[in-house]
Amino acid sequence: MSDQRLLTIPTFTIMLEHHTIMRDVIRDMDEVGEPYVHEAKFIAQLHRYMQSLSRDKQKQLRTAFSTDNLLAAHILVDKDEFGGESRLIFDRSVIGVFRLFDRSLFQDLTDVALKTQLGSIRLLLEQLESDALLFSDTDLDYKELMDELFHRLSELLNSIRLNLIKMQTINQELSEASEMAAKAGNPQVFSLLQRESIGKISHLLSRHILPTRQFLDEKSRLKDRLNLFECLQKLRRQFELHQDHPREMAMLRYEISFNSFHTQISKVSHSVDQFLARSKKRLQQFNAIEAAFGELTEALDATRHNLKRSWIDGEFARNNGAFMGLMQQARPKVLRISSSEAYLNNVVSDIEARVADQSLLKQHCYVDLTSSKDDSMARRLARAEQIYELVKQMKMAEYQDLTLALHRRLKIHLPGYHFVDLLEGLNFAQRNDEMLGGYAVKVTNFRNRLAQDDTIYLYRKIRTESVE
């Protein structure tokens, strides 16, 4: 590295210009959970970054990022030897600046870090309750203690805020992880991605999310004395007792802020719990299917290598719980989608009929009456007249199930639609050939079910056929 020296500001300016280097360094430190970086690894990362730069830029970076220059500029606080390797320890404030540039670098709060910050607030509270201070800004000791107290609270509030922002993006990360696993064509790759995802999220939940949620819970009881809210309430009472109302109100605002964070982080925790439950269930189902398929493959191979056995033994299905009950399951219904001309004509004619309904409804208003089986006779007659006028002007088509088609068309256009409206419409359509638009009605022996509210109706299918 270069022997030249730069002042702190030029060095830091170059580091900001090429902040990708420090981003990778901080990310590596967080992954291994160490407050330092090995010098050899740092130099290797620097050389990889400089490969695409000009010679002048490379020279500038060698000078700025040399260990001696970083120490002289107070960006490195120490360089030590441990286990035969050289380690570089950056100043925390420098690391903090680079964390602000990238949300992914926000440092996760752990139970130890939170309790350490709480411990410092407890010590300040003890000094405030010791009656050794005058509770006046003219007392320099009191003023320094106040500055330290509000600095600690602001730092804690900011740390939780940054962590909450990072945690709130976890839903996007979870959906991306699920999508990546779903796209994996190889079953082994799917299983591996699912396990890695569950492992990472479980670690995040147990080490960061749950400790932070418990720390911000005003009802939590700690074995080692006061929780955060109890400390804030005692501080507020001290300020109230000494009539320091501005600081009393400041403590109240901190209580409200920390309490709102607890609500938000509880939502994050709930969404992570749901993701883990779904992922574990999906993985269990996948493993069960894979195990059953493996056993089925072995049983099939046994029939291929043994000429006397052309069928898989029924005992196999009885002993394997995964295959029990399959014979009792109904076959899946066929989705009757066809490319035939007749089928496409039916689809097109149905769309045309619905478009005609829409234009018809724009010209007339059918919102005055609602339908009910308990209505008076006069109201039911008025409603039937409306349905008669509507059905009379509808464009009909060739239907395999006239009841279902009319149900769908009336349901979306009549407010307060009830099953009696469908009966009225069917009655009018079947008794009047003009309403059917040239189609003939044919009642079949096939049955179908139709759900309306909480009731299921069983009816015979009615077909409409073109009259040649």
Contact 350, 402 (CB under 8 A): no
pLDDT of res. 339: 65
pLDDT of res. 333: 67
- Average pLDDT over the chain reads 78
Q: How confident is the model at residue 324 (pLDDT cuts 50, 70, 90)?
A: low
pLDDT of res. 441: 81
pLDDT of res. 366: 47
Q: How confident is the model at residue 374 (pLDDT cuts 50, 70, 90)?
A: low
What is the mean predicted confidence (pLDDT) over 104-118?
Answer: 77
Q: How far is CA 116 from CA 66, 67, 113, 166, 195, in A?
A: 34, 31, 5, 21, 33
What is the mean predicted confidence (pLDDT) over 293-314?
Answer: 75
Range from 149-158, 229-238, 240-249, 429-438 carrying the lowest mean pLDDT: 429-438
pLDDT of res. 249: 92
> 3-state DSSP call for residue 89?
strand
Give the side-chain half-sphere CA count within 13 A for 195. Answer: 9
Range from 203-212, 354-363, 425-434 carrying the lowest mean pLDDT: 354-363
CA 318 to chain centre: 41
pLDDT of res. 187: 65
CB neighbour class for 88 (10 Å; exposed up to 12, middle 13-18, buried from 19): buried
Percent of the chain clearing pLDDT 70 (strictly above): 79
Range from 187-191, 313-317, 370-374 carrying the lowest mean pLDDT: 370-374
CB neighbour class for 359 (10 Å; exposed up to 12, middle 13-18, buried from 19): exposed
pLDDT of res. 385: 78
pLDDT of res. 1: 47
Q: How far is CA 274 from CA 179, 269, 397, in A?
A: 16, 9, 47
pLDDT in tens, 36-63: 888 888 888 889 888 888 888 888 888 8
pLDDT in tens, 251-266: 999 999 988 888 888 8
Q: Which residues contact 309 (CB under 8 A, 6 or more apart)?
A: 302, 303
Q: Distance (Å, rounded) from C-alpha 192 to C-alpha 198?
A: 10
Range from 62-71, 111-120, 283-292 carrying the lowest mean pLDDT: 283-292
Looking at the DSSP bridge assignments, the partners of residue 452 are: 455
pLDDT in tens, 1-36: 455 678 888 888 988 888 888 888 888 888 777 888
What is the mean predicted confidence (pLDDT) over 414-429?
Answer: 78
pLDDT of res. 367: 43
Higher-confidence position of 339 and 165: 165
What is the mean predicted confidence (pLDDT) over 325-341?
Answer: 65
Length of the chain: 468
Say if residue 364's pLDDT is above 60.
no
